[in-house]
Structures are given as C-alpha cells and as structure tokens.
Amino acid sequence: MAAQLAYDALSMSGYSTNSPRSDHEITVLHGDLISADMAQWLAEKLRELRHAGAPMLKRFTVQCVNDQTMGELHMRHMNNPCTTDVLTFADGDDADVAVCVDEAARRATELNHQLRDELLLYCLHGLLHAGGMDDQTPAEFAAMHGEENRLLSAIGLGEIFGAIKP
C-alpha cells in the first residue's frame, strides 16, 4: 500500500526529490506547495529525529499535498471525503506519508508557530505511525504525542504539539 500512496500522490501533483540514495532513504516530494529549501529542512530534521530515536525505516517518503488531494486520498483509502493533516501508509520498512500543507498552514497560524514546524510535526506523526505507534485510545494518544514532544525537544525544537490532553 505504501507504493500506492506514492503513485497516487505523484499522479495528482508535481514533485521534486531532494534526498540522496542511502540505506535509510528520506525523500520529501513537494511540487510547488512549499519551497525546495523548506523541503530540504524537513528532510534534514527527519534525519536528526532518527538519530534522536525515531523509527528507522529503510525508505520514508513524504508527499506534501493540498486540501483537494488530501481529501481525494482520504476518500480513496479511508472512505472519508474530508481533508486531514496526515495519512500514513506503511509496509514493513517502507512508508509513504501524505501531509496537508493547507491544514498545516491553518494550524500554524492558529497556534502561532511556523509552517515548517507544523509540517515536521505531521511528518514525525506519520513516521511514528509507520513505526507501530497509534493514537486511538487516550493512553495511546498521550504516549504518541508525548514521544513527538520528546523527539522534537531532543533536536532543539521544543514541544510543537503542546500540552498533552488525552
């Protein structure tokens, strides 16, 4: 299914890659939704998060999408026509994550922090899902968002998610 998300998202929008090939590949596909510099920053921070203890996958691809594309992906894969912040498709050591730039922009404005920080939070959230964490119950929610805060603090960004209220 991971490969299907990449195919779906690539067929719906333009993209650019910015990651060298390695045993643990991180790629941020962004089209014209964010700058190449921001995509590079996200990829670099994801590498830092791995060194801080985030799951280590063989391949992790982030596709930045808009509300329309996220709604289409959400409908196709979750039977929900609404946009959402992040969708994760993992298959063993490979994962594709779609992050919604429009939703991130709304939340960043609402919470008074930078768009790139909100997007990184979405990427990390997807990475943790791919690594086996979930947030469906209050205990899982607290554990997952606590891990996000721990990892983001470990790389010097602080608690972007904010207070944990299960």
Q: Residue-wise over 100-128: b if at least 16 C-beta within 10 A, else e?
A: bbbbbbbbbeeeebebbbbbbbbbbbbbb
pLDDT: which is higher, 100 or 159: 100
For residue 166, being part of any structural domain is answered with: no
For residue 94, being part of any structural domain is answered with: yes
Name the average pLDDT for the chain. Answer: 86
* DSSP per-residue letters across 115-164: HHHHHHHHHHHHHHHHTT---SSHHHHHHHHHHHHHHHHHTT---SS-S-
Give the integer Cα–Cα distance in Å for 159 and 145: 9
Q: Which domain holds residue 30?
A: 2-154
- Check residue 105 and give its pLDDT: 96
For residue 160, being part of any structural domain is answered with: no
User: Is residue 166 pLDDT above 50, yes or no?
Assistant: no
User: Is residue 50 pLDDT above 80, yes or no?
Assistant: yes
- Check residue 22 and give its pLDDT: 52
For residue 162, being part of any structural domain is answered with: no
User: Is residue 72 pLDDT above 60, yes or no?
Assistant: yes
- What average pLDDT does range 130-153 have in this prediction? 94
- Check residue 159 and give its pLDDT: 84
For residue 41, being part of any structural domain is answered with: yes
pLDDT: which is higher, 14 or 25: 25
User: Is residue 82 pLDDT above 50, yes or no?
Assistant: yes
- What average pLDDT does range 129-151 have in this prediction? 93
- Check residue 130 and give its pLDDT: 95
Looking at the 3D structure of the chain, how many domains does it have? 1
For residue 66, being part of any structural domain is answered with: yes
For residue 108, being part of any structural domain is answered with: yes
- What average pLDDT does range 38-53 have in this prediction? 95
For residue 163, being part of any structural domain is answered with: no
Q: Could you give the percent of the chain with pLDDT greater than 70?
A: 83
Residue 148 sits in a domain whose CATH number is 3.40.390.30
Strands 59-65, 86-91: pairing is: unpaired
Supply the pTM of this predicted model. Answer: 0.85
